[in-house]
Structure 1
């Protein structure tokens, strides 16, 4: 029996999405097993789901699955590592054809991922290191997300400043962004890390805000906050605004959503820049990469979706209000030509 955490996107729902304007899958032109897409079931097993980024990511997964015409099962562990591993086993027991593992902890997911592979199930992993050469790793080039944000911080503030850093170790994308932070500090000795803090406790933004309040009180010389996850940045911004320091501190982050754009564009917002991929595009890429495996094709050991720098000044100068506006002004943000074989049906662009 399925848990209440599991949501099913049926073929009927896929057809409904198709009627809403998505390019339909043409089964006659598709390789096996997608010549009979109604017989294909894939699972998305999530560790993180809080925040606009993950809602947009899920939308991309759903739309690409609908374009293929496959059955999609969604398992949401809500940051419970043991439950996520159990959900992989549930997906295996259901007899799914493929699994997308979305985020998670290596120690919890490596064995679970191997069990899926041993069961003959195709697996891709997004932003989680499952330590398995048979499983393509899909990422946003998280190192570059961190590096580009820090380059902008140095451009805006010089290479000598006191910083607060929001980080939770053990999360693959945050660990990759941390590499960029550690390298940047070595390359620019004038950058001093006054405090490192962070939590993944829900609601993440509010929990980080509670920590940031104490950090700002304890380290009044902080002028830069590096918060390389938008929920972290939201939390820092709450604390900075409450302290009335929005003109004294600049926030640099990763990831973007319509809510983030609104927060960045507030008068005198401290949120100066973020670096992001379109989360919906990342979701689509995960499904396409898995579909390639199911069709006997190789998407590559690493599937990289390139990131884009987005500054507060750019948003204001172009009057960008939402993700659609951002895609229109930044074509490289609207689509990634990654894992797109000729036979692959794609969601229609709005």
Structure 2
């Protein structure tokens, strides 16, 4: 009996203990759930606030570019209309951002180009653009600029230095687009003239593709090769092509000319026209308003060219430079997409470079080096 009473007392105490625990849990659980919910809500709010801050910051103008920048553009040469339209694009973009640009032309003298680079560094410019040139001449000066905290963006050269963005026109694609069109038009067989000069990074790259082209199309034979860069390359090329035409006076002696620079293409086109040998077709690289006029002429031998918009090249280079000044990451290398422009794709009436985009898809547009704050910077500068 005593055992039974003791057991009953123990069961009663146990039930009271369990009830108390249950009540305590019921009292505590909502508070814990509430705390967890508060934490989750706070976490979401923090994240959203962070995203909101990021979006706001992306539209704000970075402090480093709020004041007008002083930019130096160091050019190896300014031969031909491609160079003039390129520098026009540079000036347009810098001025749109409210800055100013000083252009230094080295007249195809690398030593002079290196001196111009030193001059710009000593003037403590905010950024440096380099057009063409060679690393062996420019690398010491570029390193000096970087040590002083002056960002550098170069175009069409062989610089390979940490911190420098090097842009190009994808010279390999340019050459292949033009050469492939030539080969297809000749059905893989014929005699051609090659106009070329060494010593320039884009020319060296285009020549690499030309050598591969000869392997790919062994029945296309090179009958003559010449070329040089001078103060009047187009006229010199015209004179040299006239001499070649005298060496090969008969129709069928020459089927086509590959001219991987528009200054070359202009010269050979004029020589062919004046000799009345318009059966010889010209395949070039690069494009400008002057080039377009030659291509669009009736019976023009210049039938195709691979190109990028030179003004957009300049604008993109400036945008990358402003990104660097603003402290944003930029790629070490960037190739703009080239386009093949064929005479047969152009309208009957004469058009300018500004109208090419109506006939060649994506011409003259690029998102290279674009940051969200650049629109605000442009509006501020207006």
Q: Give me the whole-angstrom Cα distance separating, in 2, the residues matched to 1:169 and 1:237.
A: 21
Contact 1:252 / 1:271 at 8 angstroms: preserved in 2?
yes
Specify which of 122, 128, 131 is matched with residue 99 of structure 1: 128
Q: Is 1:333 matched up with 2:363? A: yes
Structure 1 match to 2:101: 72
Where in structure 2 are the equivalents of 1:120-199 lying within 5 Å? Answer: 120-199=149-228
Evaluate the alpha carbon distance shift between residue 301 and residue 234 of structure 1 in structure 2; reply closer, same or farther with a 3 A threshold.
same
Contact 2:98 / 2:378 at 8 angstroms: preserved in 1?
no
Where in structure 2 are the equivalents of 1:24-43 lying within 5 Å? Answer: 29-36=60-67, 38=68, 40-43=69-72
SS of residue paired to 1:79: coil
Q: How big is the shift at 1:331?
A: 4.4
Q: Give me the whole-angstrom Cα distance separating, in 1, the residues matched to 2:190 and 2:378.
A: 45
Deviations 1:129-185 (A, max 9, x none): 123233111111111111100111112111112111111112111111111111111
Q: Give me the whole-angstrom Cα distance separating, in 1, the residues matched to 2:239 and 2:141.
A: 34
Structure 1 match to 2:90: 61
Specify which of 312, 315, 320 is matched with residue 343 of structure 2: 312
Q: Is 1:255 matched up with 2:283? A: no
Deviations 1:89-130 (A, max 9, x none): 010111012111101233322333223223321111100112
SS of residue paired to 2:221: strand
Q: Give me the whole-angstrom Cα distance separating, in 2, the residues matched to 1:148 and 1:224.
A: 15
Q: Give me the whole-angstrom Cα distance separating, in 1, the residues matched to 2:141 and 2:240.
A: 33
Q: Give me the whole-angstrom Cα distance separating, in 2, the residues matched to 1:165 and 1:67.
A: 41
Structure 1 match to 2:372: 342
Q: Is 1:279 matched up with 2:310? A: yes
Q: Give me the whole-angstrom Cα distance separating, in 1, the residues matched to 2:163 and 2:225.
A: 35
Q: Is 1:265 matched up with 2:292? A: no
Specify which of 290, 312, 327 is matched with residue 296 of structure 1: 327
Evaluate the alpha carbon distance shift between residue 269 and residue 256 of structure 1 in structure 2; reply closer, same or farther with a 3 A threshold.
same
Contact 2:195 / 2:225 at 8 angstroms: preserved in 1?
yes
Deviations 1:291-343 (A, max 9, x none): 111111122011111011100111145x4511122123334112112111111
Q: Give me the whole-angstrom Cα distance separating, in 2, the residues matched to 1:167 and 1:67.
A: 37
SS of residue paired to 1:134: coil
Evaluate the alpha carbon distance shift between residue 62 and residue 237 of structure 1 in structure 2; reply closer, same or farther with a 3 A threshold.
same
Contact 1:59 / 1:280 at 8 angstroms: preserved in 2?
yes
Q: How big is the shift at 1:274?
A: 0.4
Higher percent of residues as helix: 2
Evaluate the alpha carbon distance shift between residue 211 and residue 347 of structure 1 in structure 2; reply closer, same or farther with a 3 A threshold.
farther
Evaluate the alpha carbon distance shift between residue 347 and residue 188 of structure 1 in structure 2; reply closer, same or farther with a 3 A threshold.
farther
Q: Is 1:225 matched up with 2:253? A: no
What is the RMSD of the two structures over their aligned residues, measured on CA atoms? 1.8
* 285-294 vs 130-139, which moves further: 130-139
The alignment covers a number of residue pairs equal to: 317
Contact 2:295 / 2:303 at 8 angstroms: preserved in 1?
yes
